[in-house]
């Protein structure tokens, strides 16, 4: 039983040597299953859970062998409510007044490329955006480009450790421009390998721990090496952890 009073949300870092066939269930206080994890979810000897919208959860371990080593090494207490349709009235008071939910826009050219934009939760505490990118081999390797400032680390090795604990949320957006409806947050991949990291350039290149399945609607954004910038640009992101905006 894990409780942190007045938390908007909780997430856990679990250290475990799970055996094949074992299961971990995360439940709420009403015994409703919030998440299920197996040995395939262990990355580097750890499971970084998704975020649960409550201040108390129960961890249940199912095994048919001897109980292996397991410990909760970190509990992240949500100070802000990320489970909402929007934090800001973009049309009135924000400096980002020109933003709008991606599904409220009619431009068809954005309907494909927006699927490459992913919400990241780094180290259980920091929310930011990233983009799934293609490569010259066009082989579907899940490379993701994001900013280095989302990592509290200043060196590669520490940032590499944080990348292994990062949660990636796909398709986190309102549907049909229904801004009052909280989006789904169940399309996730946990963990990535850090391939390149530069705080000065504010860039980080990662390779996700697994390929996003088709129902995640992944799109691998294209790029080229031209030195001539485009005449028009647009920015699709998750500002302040909001559902996808442009």
* pLDDT tens digit sequence for 184-232: 677 888 889 999 999 999 999 999 988 999 999 999 998 888 888 778 7
Quickly tell me which residue has 């249940």 as its tokens. 60
How far is 19 from 16, CA to CA, in rounded Å? 9
The model's confidence at residue 94, banded by pLDDT at 50, 70 and 90, is very low
The pTM score is 0.78
Tell me what the mean pLDDT of segment 123-132 comes to. 86
pLDDT at 43: 81
Tell me what the mean pLDDT of segment 148-173 comes to. 89
Instruction: Tell me which residue of 43, 38, 42, 8 sits closest to 26, measured CA to CA.
Output: 38
Indicate if the pLDDT at residue 151 is higher than 60.
yes
Tell me what the mean pLDDT of segment 133-137 comes to. 94
Which residues in the chain belong to E strands, given as ranges?
2-3, 10-16, 23-27, 33-37, 46-48, 56-62, 70-77, 117-122, 126-133, 143-146, 167-169, 188-190, 192-198, 203-208
How far is 208 from 246, CA to CA, in rounded Å? 24
pLDDT at 84: 59
- In tens, the pLDDT along 4-39 reads 999 888 888 899 988 889 999 999 999 999 888 998
């Amino acid at each position: 039983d894990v409780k942190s009073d007045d938390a908007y949300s909780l997430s856990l870092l679990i250290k475990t040597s799970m055996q094949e066939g074992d299961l971990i269930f995360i439940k709420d206080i009403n015994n409703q299953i919030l998440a299920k994890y197996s040995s395939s979810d262990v990355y580097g000897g750890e499971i970084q859970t998704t975020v649960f919208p409550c201040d108390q959860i129960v961890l249940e371990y199912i095994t048919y062998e001897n109980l292996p080593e397991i410990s909760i090494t970190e509990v992240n207490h949500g100070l802000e409510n990320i489970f909402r349709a929007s934090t800001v009235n973009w049309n009135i008071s924000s400096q980002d007044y020109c933003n709008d939910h991606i599904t409220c826009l009619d431009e068809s050219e954005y309907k494909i490329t927006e699927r490459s934009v992913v919400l990241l939760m780094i180290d259980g505490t920091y929310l930011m955006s990233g983009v799934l990118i293609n490569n010259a081999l066009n082989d579907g390797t899940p490379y993701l480009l994001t900013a280095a400032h989302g990592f509290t680390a200043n060196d590669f090795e520490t940032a590499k450790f944080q990348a292994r604990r990062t949660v990636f949320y796909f398709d986190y957006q309102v549907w049909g421009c229904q801004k009052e409806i909280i989006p789904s947050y169940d399309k996730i991949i946990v963990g990535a390998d850090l391939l390149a990291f530069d705080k000065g350039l504010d860039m980080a290149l990662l390779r996700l721990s697994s390929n996003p399945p088709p129902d995640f609607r992944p799109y691998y954004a294209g790029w080229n090496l031209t030195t001539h910038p485009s005449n028009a640009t647009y920015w699709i992101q998750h500002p302040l952890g909001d559902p996808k905006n442009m």
